[in-house]
Amino acid sequence: MAYPQLPDYTELAEPLLSFDPYDASQRDAHPLRGLQKFGPFSHSILGAMPPTIRLAAIVPAGQAPTVNRLVTELSQPQVPQERQVYLPHFPGFEAVFRQKLALPGSNFIELPATLDAAVRSGPQPQRSVAEAISSAFGQLRNIRTEWDVVLIYLPTAWHAAFEGGVSDDFDLHDFIKAKTAAQAIPTQILNDDSLRYKCRASVSWRLGVALYTKAGGVPWKMEAVQPDTAFIGLSYALRKEAGTLRYVTCCSQIFDAEGTGLEFLAYETDASKISVFGKNPFLSRDQMRAVMARSLRLYLDRHAGRMPRRVVIHKNTEFKLREIEGCFDALGRIDEVELVQVQDTRWRGVRLLAPGRAGGASEADKWPLNRGTLMTIGDQEALLWTQGNSASVTGGAPWFPGGKAIPRPLLLRRFAGRGDAQLLGREILALSKMDWNNDSLYDSMPGTLAFAHTLAEVVKRMPTLDPRPYPLRLFM
């Protein structure tokens, strides 16, 4: 039986990350190794960070010592107990980030001791915990000048309060993020995994990077694939009022050419003026024009009025004709505009090893395709493996963060633009390393879309939505 011949493929190099704005030699493909060797990107910028990151904490009654021990642990060296091919030792927060951590006893707020009983047997445990945390934030506001980031410990024993019932669209995590983002309060939610997970090096790296970012720091940037480029990621969430669909929240995330998530904008649009296919809303031409115009204005504000030469827009769903027209209405002065759908697929790929000298059939490699494998499958379509064997980062030792599964590629489908597929692939590969909320080498999605669903879900739960930019760090 004859099988169709697939196109040739390309293996894109692992993108480098920058850890210093002035010294071009301070680059590394490995985010944690780069931090260990060079320190964070914003350390060299005078006045970018205070000498000490001050924490506050909201904890269950009697749990202040538990959280205090975790913060103390972050100042100590930790040896990895897992992923030893990838995970470097953690030399301590101050040694990595050149900042001290402080959690004074006066910055602890203990929740009422009666809350345990309310969670176990109360009719609405989620509301009881939400009200108690809201009250605690009220107390912290009285000492707002004394802290930079708030830790919130939610023990597993309170799992009944994490979500609402069948008729209650409530999520405690999203509630906290929505409430605090509206007040410009960075938060770090802690669970029992943070306190008990066996590999303390992994916990320290993850929490360390997150706390440094939420305090206003920049751990790393990506080496710009093409200068003067702005990246925009679009996502949507349907909101309901009294059980009726009323409007759509559109989140527009703006990134610069170095992958820094500047801020994101949220828009509420009248649902009666959009089209919804399945669960996917599509904007009208006027709505898309407004979204893009405000996104471009934010970029200009953050770049002293300098216009980007190129704008790349990512979203998970296709671009309808009226959306394409709206983009070009707003971005008509930009030299290059690329509209790219980035979508998960059901494709699979297996690397075949060459037959031995004696001939015979090829055998499948026990390791997945290399991360960065790119295959063009049409005039405007390509497959990109953002997940895969990352031996180039580990010094040649095979390593696949996804474990034993066969990774699926992303489908890149271009609706406008003229850049080649390799350029789009290199950018998405680099943007997949711009998640400052974990200790992994990459996400499967680019940073423009990695938080898209989370942001939209949180924003749709905000009681009021001011039409202003929000820093991404408030929603991490």
User: pLDDT tens across 395-435, in order?
Assistant: 888 888 867 778 899 999 999 998 889 999 999 999 999 98
Domain 223-475 belongs in CATH node 3.40.640.10 = no
Across all residues in the chain, what is the average pLDDT?
Answer: 86
Looking at residue 278, what is its pLDDT? 62
Domain 49-214 belongs in CATH node 3.40.50.2300 = yes
CA distances for 304 relative to 159, 297, 298, 461, angstroms: 47, 11, 10, 33
Q: What is the dihedral of CA 142, 143, 148, 152, to 10 degrees?
A: -70
Looking at residue 229, what is its pLDDT? 92
Give the DSSP letter of residue 432: T
- Token pair, residue 457, equals 């879900």
- Token pair, residue 336, equals 């290059």
- Predicted TM-score (pTM) of the model is 0.90
Looking at residue 463, what is its pLDDT? 65
User: pLDDT tens across 56-86, in order?
Assistant: 999 999 999 999 999 999 999 999 998 888 9
Amino acid at 212: Y
Looking at residue 435, what is its pLDDT? 87
Nearest Cα to Cα of residue 115 among 44, 42, 60: 60
Give the number of C-alpha atoms closer than 13 A to the C-alpha of residue 331, restricted to the C-beta side: 31
C-beta neighbour count of 50 within 10 angstroms:
12
Residue 1 has pLDDT above 60, yes or no: no
- Choose the weakest-confidence range: 385-394, 397-406, 453-462: 453-462
In sequence order, what are the residues at sequence separation of 6 or more whose Cβ sits closer than 8 angstroms to the Cβ of residue 85?
A: 394, 397, 399
User: pLDDT tens across 192-218, in order?
Assistant: 888 889 999 999 999 999 999 999 999
Give the helix ranges, DSSP H, for 64-149.
64-74, 93-97, 115-121, 125-141
Looking at residue 46, what is its pLDDT? 73
Going from N- to C-terminal start, the domains of the chain cover 49-214, 223-475
What H or E segment, with its residue span, contains residue 355? none
Q: What is the dihedral of CA 157, 158, 162, 167, to 10 degrees?
A: 110
Share of the chain above pLDDT 90, in %: 46
Residue 357 has pLDDT above 60, yes or no: no
Question: What does the pLDDT average to over 27-38?
Answer: 95
Higher per-residue pLDDT: 52 or 182: 52
Give the number of C-alpha atoms closer than 13 A to the C-alpha of residue 3, restricted to the C-beta side: 3
- Choose the weakest-confidence range: 125-134, 286-295, 393-402: 393-402
